[in-house]
Amino acid sequence: MANVAVVGAQWGDEGKGKLVDWLSERADVVVRFQGGHNAGHTLVIDGVTYKLSLLPSGIVRPGKLSIIGNGVVIDPWALIAEIEKLSSQGVSVNRANLRIAGNATLILPLHGELDRIREEAAGAAKIGTTGRGIGPAYEDKVGRRAIRVNDLADLSILGPKIERLLAHHNALRRGLGQAEILAADLFKQLSEIAPKILIYSDAVWSLLDEVKREGKRILFEGAQGVLLDIDHGTYPYVTSSNTVAGQAAAGSGLGPSSIGYVLGIAKAYTTRVGSGPFPTEQENEVGEYIGQRGREFGTVTGRKRRCGWFDAVLVRQAIKTSGIHGIALTKLDVLDGLPEIKVCVGYSLDGKRIEQFPAAEEAQKRVEPIYENFEGWKDTTAGARSWAQLPAQAIKYVKYLEELIECPVALLSTSPEREDTILMRDPFED
């Protein structure tokens, strides 16, 4: 039985929350391994909608252990607010079902403020961040000046750490014309939040090693998508962490041999939030139709998502850079009723056909999609739970995508509801 890592195979927002929740029924432990509260997962269970940003999707399932790994950057105030929100919906969160890596980096108020100041100053060149401080927090982590969860356990040694951090940030703030941050103010904020966070702190790598030795199933949950990876995405319009499946090992403390199957999530079309290249974007009535049918608004920000046709080149590239074994195809029902569907099968760059997305930013701006047209279907796929319930033309579309992306479709999601899922291959048994 394989432990499974779930990653987005596009630019995020592919429906990972529902699929991870659905798969967590077969798992014992669900681990979030990168990103921060810039990523949102929406779960619809028995008519109740749960919106998660930091908490792993398995938190809504009784008897499952959820873990926030060391690869995640954690805003402690946002986390407590999320826990309280879930509590108001009847979901109890405590040490029995949630652990946080003690060596995870904290997002502080100064990080969010710096994020927003930079974006505003960038004008038309802005990256399109959520302004929640994820990038600046990762910068401090790499710069070895970050404050981590474990640092809150001994407030007597927190002062020098804050001074080291502020030596950097206050210099930045002076250069940006902003008031400096007082060390005493930050110390007070951290000392107040510390006891609320420390109750969940643990040596996650050791805990996961025990779980592995006991033969329990582990589900690794990624945020965003492979095309937003800091190395392999559409740089510089990317997130600040590695989103590929390899990060599941580094961001949790288990070695790569612990991951047996990588499941990539992809929509039957393509969406993107924020700035950056998007070859198949449809800034027309088709894009508007997809956006309205798919309810394409960000879980975290509420921003309208950019919509376009399925890009087989980008998904195939994501499959290769992330070692994806199978794809979970979501939102097939959004395409119901379209007389014609286009699929990007290659690009034209400066008059030449290419079969991969270039890494250079200027080249990315110049690529033009090469489409193949596919006949749509009139009957609905919404709520289908078996192949037999799908229109023949919809099945042909799925098979067509499998050939283009060179990867099998393991699961098919036909609505936001947990049970509206068609299983072709069980990742835990493959």
Which of 380-394, 398-412, 413-427 has the weakest average pLDDT?
A: 413-427
The tokens describing 95, both together, are 């040490």
d(CA 245, CA 319): 10
Residue matched to tokens 């997962």: 41
Whether 21 has a pLDDT exceeding 90, the answer reads no
The DSSP result for 147-169, as a single string, is -BGGGGG-GGGHHHHHHHHHHHH
User: How many angstroms separate the Cα of 188 from the Cα of each of 33, 114, 141, 155, 195?
Assistant: 29, 20, 22, 10, 13
> pLDDT tens for residues 73-108?
999 999 999 999 999 999 999 999 999 999 999 999
pLDDT at 300: 60
Which of 10-19, 73-82, 233-242 has the weakest average pLDDT?
A: 10-19
Mean of pLDDT over the chain:
92
Whether 331 has a pLDDT exceeding 80, the answer reads yes
Region 381-400: mean pLDDT is 94
Question: Which contiguous run of DSSP H or E holds residue 263?
Answer: strand 261-267
pLDDT at 41: 74
Residues belonging to the active site: 13, 41
Contact 277, 365 (CB under 8 A): yes
Whether 181 has a pLDDT exceeding 80, the answer reads yes
d(CA 371, CA 164): 53
